[in-house]
Amino acid sequence: MKFQVDPSHSTANFSIKHMMIAKVHGGFEKMSGTLEFDAANPAASKVEATIEAASINTREPQRDAHLKSADFFDVEKFPTITFKSKSVKVAGDGELKVLGDLTIHGVTKEVNLDVEGPTAEMKDPWGNIKVGVSATTKINRKDFGLTWNAALETGGILVGDDVTISLDVQFVKQA
């Protein structure tokens, strides 16, 4: 079964420590992608996703502008963040481990996604067949060339290295 991301019902969020004391949360508002899911043979399944880096939203316009700059995502030079699966393994009832290539800031690294789902197919009021998945992973931003930081007067750093990524994606079945 082939599905396409339903962007109006999907989120790509992240959190990262700020000043070593609290997490700042943000997300990306524009994404697309496909899921080819084989329930009888999950290992044959594939997923690809693209996020528009300039669609970042941390609810603070000045921070968002800085994140879009060459100090971080450099969205003029690297407009997209992509993920392409390499393997899918059953990890439990309704759980999958998806290994794939994540490309951020022009750097590609393998990451593992812990996935809940896909859910059972559901028909919306307009006759569209949909499934949902939730996925999480943790990356080190420096692995992707996102190294900007500032030292704090009291010791420590302004921006943490570990980024927790959480995805909640609804897919619509393609005819």
With a cut of 90, say whether residue 163 has pLDDT above it. no
Rounded mean pLDDT of the chain?
A: 89
CATH code assigned at 46: 2.40.128.110
Q: Tell me which of 18-27, 33-42, 75-84 is least confident.
A: 18-27
Residue 4: name the closest of 64, 48, 62, 51 by CA. Answer: 48
Q: How far apart are CA 101 and CA 117, in angstroms?
A: 20
- Range of the structural domain that residue 74 is part of: 2-173
pTM beyond 0.75: the answer is: yes
Q: How far apart are CA 83 and CA 90, in angstroms?
A: 19
User: Which is more confident, 60 or 148?
Assistant: 60
Q: Which two tokens stand for residue 110?
A: 């393998």
At 146, the pLDDT band (50, 70, 90 cuts) reads confident
Q: Which two tokens stand for residue 129?
A: 């067949």
With a cut of 70, say whether residue 154 has pLDDT above it. no
Residue 112: name the closest of 100, 125, 123 by CA. Answer: 100
What would the pLDDT profile of 88-110 be if each residue is shown by its tens digit?
999 988 899 999 999 999 999 99
At 24, the pLDDT band (50, 70, 90 cuts) reads confident
What would the pLDDT profile of 34-52 be if each residue is shown by its tens digit?
999 988 899 999 999 999 9
pLDDT for the residue 162: 78
- Domain total in the chain: 1
